[in-house]
Amino acid sequence: MSQETQAARLERLARLPLRDNLRGLKPYGAPQLDAPVLLNVNENTHGVPSDARRAIMRAVERSLTELNRYPDREFTELRESLARYLGHGLSADNIWAANGSNEVLQQILQAFGGPARTVLSFPPTYSMYPLLASGTNTEYLSGERASDFSLSAVSAAEQVAAAAPQLVILCSPNNPTGTALDLEVVRAVYQASEAAQSIVIVDEAYAEFAHPGTPSALTLLPGRERLIVSRTMSKAFALAGARLGYLAAAPEVTDALRLVRLPYHLSALTQATAVAALEHSESLQANVEDIKRQRDRIVDGLRALGLQPAPSDANFVFFSGVQNPGKIWQGLLDAGVLIRDVGIPGSLRVTAGTEQETTAFLENMERLLAAEGR
Ligand SMILES: *Cc1c(COP(=O)(O)O)cnc(C)c1O
Q: Ligand 1 center to residue 101 CA distance, Å? A: 6
Indicate the CATH number of 50-279 among 3.40.50.10310, 3.90.440.10, 3.40.50.150, 3.40.640.10.
3.40.640.10
pLDDT value at residue 29: 72
In one-letter notation, the amino acid at residue 131 is: L
What per-residue string of b and e applies to 219-242 under the rule 16 or more CB within 10 Å gives b?
Answer: ebbeebebbbbbbbbbbbbbbbeb
Contact 315, 176 (CB under 8 A): no
Q: Residue whose CA is closest, atom 11 of ligand 1? A: 205
Q: Ligand 1 center to residue 19 CA distance, Å? A: 26
- Tell me the mean pLDDT in the region 151-180: 97
Query: Which backbone phi and psi does 213 adopt, to 5 degrees?
Result: 90, 0
Kindly state if the Cβ of 171 falls inside 6 Å of ligand 1: yes
Atom of ligand 1 nearest to the CA of 234: 9
Q: Residue whose CA is closest, atom 7 of ligand 1? A: 100
Which residues sit opposite 98 in a β-bridge?
A: 245
> Which of 19-28, 105-114, 173-182, 263-272 is least confident?
19-28
pLDDT value at residue 35: 94
- β-pairing, 199-203 with 316-320? unpaired
Kindly state if the Cβ of 205 falls inside 6 Å of ligand 1: yes
pLDDT band at 309 (very low <50, low <70, confident <90, very high): very high
Query: Which backbone phi and psi does 40 adopt, to 5 degrees?
Result: -115, -25
Fold of the 29-48+283-371 domain: Aspartate Aminotransferase, domain 1 (3.90.1150)
Encode pLDDT of 58-90 as tens digits: 999 999 999 999 999 999 999 999 999 999 999
Mutate to test the pocket of ligand 1, among 208, 235, 350 (most ligand atoms within 8 A of CB): 235
Mutate to test the pocket of ligand 1, among 96, 106, 126 (most ligand atoms within 8 A of CB): 126
% of the chain surpassing 70 pLDDT: 99
Kindly state if the Cβ of 234 falls inside 6 Å of ligand 1: yes
Q: Ligand 1 center to residue 198 CA distance, Å? A: 22
- Tell me the mean pLDDT in the region 133-142: 97
pLDDT band at 106 (very low <50, low <70, confident <90, very high): very high
Contacts of 212 (CB under 8 A, 6+ apart): none
Q: Ligand 1 center to residue 75 CA distance, Å? A: 21
Kindly state if the Cβ of 173 falls inside 6 Å of ligand 1: no
Return the H-helix or E-strand segment holding 319. Answer: strand 316-320
Q: Ligand 1 center to residue 2 CA distance, Å? A: 32
Atom of ligand 1 nearest to the CA of 245: 8
pLDDT value at residue 1: 60
pLDDT at 26 over 90: no
pLDDT band at 374 (very low <50, low <70, confident <90, very high): low
Q: What is the DSSP letter of 265?
A: -
pTM of the model: 0.95
Domain with CATH 3.40.640.10 in the chain: 50-279
- Tell me the mean pLDDT in the region 124-151: 96
Q: What average pLDDT is seen over the chain?
A: 96
pLDDT at 4 over 80: no
- Tell me the mean pLDDT in the region 150-154: 97
Nearest to 352 by CA among 160, 125, 173, 140: 173
Encode pLDDT of 117-133 as tens digits: 999 999 999 999 999 99
Domain with CATH 3.90.1150.10 in the chain: 29-48+283-371
